[in-house]
Amino acid sequence: MNGQDNLLPFFPLEMVAFPGERLNLHIFEPRYRQLIHHVREEGSTFCIPAVIDRQVQVVATEMKLLEIVRHYEDGRMDIRAEGIGVVETLDFFPMLIGWLFPAGEVRRVDMIANGHDLNRLKIVDLVRDLWSRLGASKPVPGVSDLESVFAVGHHLGFNLQQEYQLLSLPEELDRQMMVLAHLEELMPTVVMMDEIRKKVSMNGHFREFPPAEWT
């Protein structure tokens, strides 16, 4: 942690945003329309904390507003924003005087880039196998592109709680180990389901078997 505390607008959502992730959001509630106008006018950032089981979580992602893509006549808007860091919420305010939107006193978290190249290689291999078996068209990142597992965090089969746990780990090495453990546990089930799918799709086809050997 560093010692810099800030009061930032909060946009709680039932999702986890990761640092480096770009989000396209449709803003329709009056309080969050006010939030976006405030951020644009003040040149400030805002935070997206995950809402899990109706609770606003302590760790959140600091977001930078990139652009307002479209304004609608009724005040709604489409925006594009990017995650730029992770914060810890010290105090949460559902509403402040003059603001319709919630806010939080936050402390920025120092994210430690101590990942191992060997782990990156293992993760890329497992992700390639996973996405191939699932028929995903998303290109698999190269080892050099996977500076952080956040880049693939939404595409590993994590639930919301697991994604939040990943976001909450400040060290990349710990995040790598979490991803590896998850994929190594997940892949046998994926392989089994893929084999079942192949067998079902072959129903009625003429199949060629290699000669069996026996004694």
SS3 track for 66-108 = EEEEEECCCCCEEEEEEEEEEEEEEEEECCECCECCCEEEEEE
Cβ neighbourhood burial of 167 (10 Å; 0-12, 13-18, 19+): buried
pLDDT for res 4: 46
What was the pLDDT predicted at 85? 98
Could you tell me the end-to-end alpha-carbon distance of the chain, in angstroms, rounded to an integer? 67
Helix axes 172-201, 160-168, angle to 10 degrees: 150
Burial annotation 169-198 (CB, 10 A radius, 16+ → b, else e): bbebeebbbbbeebbeeebeebeeebeeee
pLDDT of 2 reads 42
Fold of the 5-109 domain: 2.30.130
What residue segments make up the domains of the chain, in order of their start?
A: 5-109, 117-201
Contact 151, 6 (CB under 8 A): no
In this predicted structure, what is the pLDDT of residue 1?
36
Print pLDDT tens along the chain (215 aa).
Answer: 343 458 999 999 999 999 999 999 999 999 999 999 999 999 999 999 999 999 999 999 999 999 999 999 999 999 999 999 999 999 999 988 889 999 999 999 999 999 999 999 999 999 999 999 888 888 998 888 899 999 999 999 999 999 999 999 999 999 999 999 999 999 999 888 878 777 666 555 545 556 656 64
Q: List Cβ neighbours of 163 (8 Å cut-off, separation of 6 or more).
A: 16, 18, 50, 153, 154
pLDDT for 182 = 97
Total-model pTM: 0.87
